[in-house]
Structure 1
């Protein structure tokens, strides 16, 4: 094989109509203050028909000089690399018009090779800012946006299919969005993003899902949401055949916050007291707040360790027993918290039902409100203890979205932001299929 073949293979030139110059194929020059490499090549072939009038070539199309272009290639040996490509110009004797030879390596009227665009698209799947991608590929930031924007139709919703199991949550959106919060919809089975809505308000959600046929909405089996009341009523109306599931994390969070507020309320009473013992107890409640929230079954009751505030050896179980002995209200709130956590952890729907309907005395207002919320969403919470689906996958995606925003120092345009989310999660799959 000739050197031309190996040079073309090294540069990623797959178009057989492009011939690298044999004699003086590599030059060096200074452009934009940088030393760059220039590869000389020629693009020529015999056209089958005229691009202007469509006349079939039967000797009527002749060569008519060349046009010099400099498409950008991927860097070679860390240097900017350009292809000095002489494109053949053709003259059609039938219509008298001229046209230029085309190649799959570079789009028409474009000076950036498709390999560079492909590399930009693949880099978009990594958590890198657009400016860094542009700087690495020696293009403008707008070029990167255009490459990402080319995938917009790929991620456009067709409203012909709905997953059987949905997981839905909101996240902080961009300033240009219609609402302060946007909505993310995921497939609970494939753990993939299904769509991202600009607005989480009821009207926007209703308008979106009503675009799907009634048959598609009837196929949805489960919908996982948080404890936000309007969501539950809305999704029950949109998916009448689906079972509503409350995310277990939000169940535990409700009683977690209630217990924390009860602890802080008791600490404030100790803070106002002038008693030395009360101040010591205040410091203990402040220091061991994580231990109070720990699952009771995981508390160590056999291993003694020295604790400065107790001035002696004591177990975790001993610390909790002492703290709960300080206040009856705190003990009752602690027991309610541990009961809810136990029923959620070990999936005890019957125990959960009986506990929330029991008459509880001595609980804080926040804990009472949490139990009242559980009673209002009883069926959906029982489903959470019966099904394995949760919003854990959505929370993980939300964390990734926050990282995307932080890396880019924020987004102004929601469409660009939505595109980048989908690119980071789906582009590699699309490229593999293609």
Structure 2
């Protein structure tokens, strides 16, 4: 079947779509959707940083004159029982990951490893990509105790019991649990006993990914310092950072010159992931060229797909096909 009335198609980068359109009519202009190009770049960034960076990265300590500190300036507090247990769990997971890596190097597939260790295939893959023990520190979450911290500190200073503190907090409008107050009091008493330490300055891999993505000129001064610190600690990511910035600007400014420069620079990159990414671009360069020339995109289609998925999920298990069809057509 030849579709002579269709002049242009905007699509994602799935090669089956490309082949089907070419078979229908080779004269149809194919345009790669820029959102999917950007999404592919984000997935590359996420994949490489997952392997290259730990979950938490320590900020390089500097003296007042800007030199790197060699002596610790903090007093380490003894770990609680829960913290010790968390560290032990992290070490056990790392030992398991090393064992899985060893078997993976011997040629076992992810499915076979999942069967051997009674794990999900995705968990096995995650363990194979680990480059160190997992960070067992939990992210801080807001707590109902937070607005009453000053009063709790005052009560700790006066030596009041937790039971009495909770009673006073209830009178002040506190609606949280007893254990939340108890845990906060334990932390405050430990700090008072051993001396309050400055919190270790760290930044997360997720935050670094965010900084890698944004244009450098849009970053705040502190964010620029964090980015420079991460790039200096992990120099292997410098190549990735340069590529992400270049490719993102290429899409934003519709820069054909940069596109063909990247297309011909595959062998200049050391990263296997970046070379594979450029290799995929080389398989379908014309549609990406058209994406930088034309303004067409998949926005309207993706919006309808999102609406259909939402309706389907809202009625899952509660509606027949007839009702589903009516709801879909009602908003069309």
Q: Distance in 2 between matches of 1:273 and 1:228?
A: 35
In the superposition, relative to structure 1, how do residues 417 and 223 fare at CA in structure 2: closer, same or farther (>3 Å)?
farther
Deviation at 1:286, TM superposition (A): 2.4
Q: Distance in 2 between matches of 1:221 and 1:259?
A: 35
**Which of the residues 334, 346, 349 maps onto 2:253?**
346
For 1:241, the equivalent position in structure 2 comes to 27
Deviation at 1:297, TM superposition (A): 4.7
Q: Distance in 1 between matches of 2:24 and 2:15?
A: 15
Contact 1:259 1:367 in 2 (8 A): no
For 1:265, the equivalent position in structure 2 comes to 51
Give the secondary-structure state (helix, strand or coil) at the position aligned to 2:236: helix
For 2:233, the equivalent position in structure 1 comes to 326
Q: Unaligned regions of 5+ residues in structure 1, if any?
A: 1-209, 275-279, 305-313, 426-434
In the superposition, relative to structure 1, how do residues 241 and 420 fare at CA in structure 2: closer, same or farther (>3 Å)?
farther
Residues 220-259 of structure 1 aligned to structure 2 (within 5 Å): 220-259=6-45
Higher relative contact order (CA 8 A, sep 6+): 2
Residues 17-416 of structure 1 aligned to structure 2 (within 5 Å): 210=1, 214=2, 217-268=3-54, 271-272=132-133, 283-297=202-216, 299-300=218-219, 303-304=220-221, 314=222, 316-358=223-265, 359-363=267-271, 365-409=272-316
In the superposition, relative to structure 1, how do residues 228 and 220 fare at CA in structure 2: closer, same or farther (>3 Å)?
same
Deviation at 1:292, TM superposition (A): 2.8
Give the secondary-structure state (helix, strand or coil) at the position aligned to 1:284: strand
In the superposition, relative to structure 1, how do residues 264 and 421 fare at CA in structure 2: closer, same or farther (>3 Å)?
same
Aligned positions, number: 192
Contact 1:411 1:417 in 2 (8 A): no
For 1:101, the equivalent position in structure 2 comes to none
Q: Distance in 2 between matches of 1:298 and 1:403?
A: 38
In the superposition, relative to structure 1, how do residues 395 and 298 fare at CA in structure 2: closer, same or farther (>3 Å)?
farther
Give the secondary-structure state (helix, strand or coil) at the position aligned to 1:227: coil
Please identify which structure carries the higher strand content: 1
In the superposition, relative to structure 1, how do residues 221 and 419 fare at CA in structure 2: closer, same or farther (>3 Å)?
farther
Q: Distance in 2 between matches of 1:321 and 1:407?
A: 46
Give the secondary-structure state (helix, strand or coil) at the position aligned to 1:258: helix
Give the secondary-structure state (helix, strand or coil) at the position aligned to 1:245: strand
In the superposition, relative to structure 1, how do residues 328 and 220 fare at CA in structure 2: closer, same or farther (>3 Å)?
same
Q: Distance in 1 between matches of 2:270 and 2:37?
A: 21
Contact 1:222 1:243 in 2 (8 A): yes
Contact 1:329 1:362 in 2 (8 A): no
Contact 2:213 2:244 in 1 (8 A): no
Contact 2:315 2:324 in 1 (8 A): no
Q: What do you get for the CA RMSD once the two structures are aligned?
A: 2.8
Q: Distance in 2 between matches of 1:228 and 1:284?
A: 36
Moved over 6 A (4+): none
TM-score by length of 1: 0.40
Deviations 1:302-330 (A, max 9, x none): x45xxxxxxxxx2x222212111222221
TM-score by length of 2: 0.52
Deviation at 1:293, TM superposition (A): 4.2
Q: Distance in 2 between matches of 1:352 and 1:237?
A: 27
